[in-house]
Structure 1
């Protein structure tokens, strides 16, 4: 899935586009397997009940299982899929959310510093946190960015390019 249409102007080029690392999906997928396994086990136990309670129990198990799957599995996967971190030649763009969308754009010329952090587990998985300090008072932290060092370098390069493009002494 590409980034949301209409957020990148014709004059800018996308340098990096990332979704959060797939490690965010480990718990929802594991939860889905537990819900399906537990529901199947309870359905087998419900066969031993007398009529009509066996059917009532199966319907209740199915309804609770479906709600659990939607809430604990499908919703996190949809959130992951609709979360975008985009670096263009002019700005850093972050968009997230399914029903309630939130986003922030940081122009490259407003970025003061960019750094990354990753634990040993993050290094093994190839992701980390990206911290962008801009003209605002509080630094913005983006967690679970895949190839965080590559994204860090891309942002740093674009910030440097924009500094030189705005510097009138470089025309000589």
Structure 2
């Protein structure tokens, strides 16, 4: 079945299942492109007639090390991005992350006190942001790089409102 369907309870329905915004991959992706371009220029320069074999070898090793570091950073971020899940069901909010060591949190919808979002200019342009959930007993939890954060905020608030409407009156009217 695959995640998140294999961790759902009976009759639980997934409303939102997202990975962080692709913005999280921009810095390592740009670093890989720059390392590739500079590495290509460095290798082309080092094969010139005026460069000794020792210098050419040193440049080639340096280019390889820098390029491999950029590649490892990009691949690590890509795998981390792919293994991070933000899920809203009709009963709870789930957040899972990690590659070798996984961690996660589940927040029952009925335990949520408030839902907020925050995004700056760049986040607004990219349609992403930070979702802040305050539950009954914990400090507020911040989930960064949530795609379409305003829509997710509204959806989560609607789920919370629906669940509260389904509850019997806790305080009967006198």
Q: Shorter-chain TM-score: what band?
A: 0.7 to 0.9
Q: CA deviation at 1:100?
A: 2.3
Indicate if the aligned counterparts of 2:32 and 2:67 stay in contact, CA closer than 8 A: no
SS at structure 1 position matched to 2:153? helix
Shift of residue 92, structure 1, vs aligned partner? 0.2
The alignment partner of 1:6 has SS state of: helix
User: CA 1:55 to 1:24, structure 2 compared with 1: closer, same or farther past 3 Å?
Assistant: same
1:137, distance to aligned residue in structure 2 (A): 3.3
Kindly provide the CA deviation profile for residues 38-86 of structure 1, in whole angstroms up to 9, marking residues without a partner as x. Answer: 2112212332454577456535532442133112x11112212221111
Contact kept? 2:31, 2:70, Cα under 8 Å: no
Q: How does 1:80-119 map to 2 (within 5 A)?
A: 80-119=81-120
Task: Give the number of equivalent residue pairs.
Answer: 167
Q: Provide the C-alpha distance between the structure 2 equivalents of 1:97 and 1:78, rounded to a whole number of angstroms.
A: 9
Correspondence list, 1:62-77, <5 A? 62-71=64-73, 73-77=74-78
Alignment of 1:1-172 (within 5 A): 3-48=3-48, 49-51=51-53, 54=56, 57-71=59-73, 73-167=74-168
TM-score in terms of structure 2 length = 0.83
Contact conserved, 1:131 with 1:139, CA < 8 A, in 2? yes
- 1:76-115, Cα deviation, whole Å (9 max, x unpaired): 1221222111100000001112222221100011101111
Contact 2:85 2:96 in 1 (8 A): yes
Runs of 4+ residues deviating >6 angstroms: none
Pair 67,124 (structure 1): closer, same or farther in 2 beyond 3 Å? closer
- 2:129 is paired with a residue whose SS is strand
SS at match of 1:138: coil
Q: Measure the CA separation in 1 of the matches of 2:151 and 2:22.
A: 17
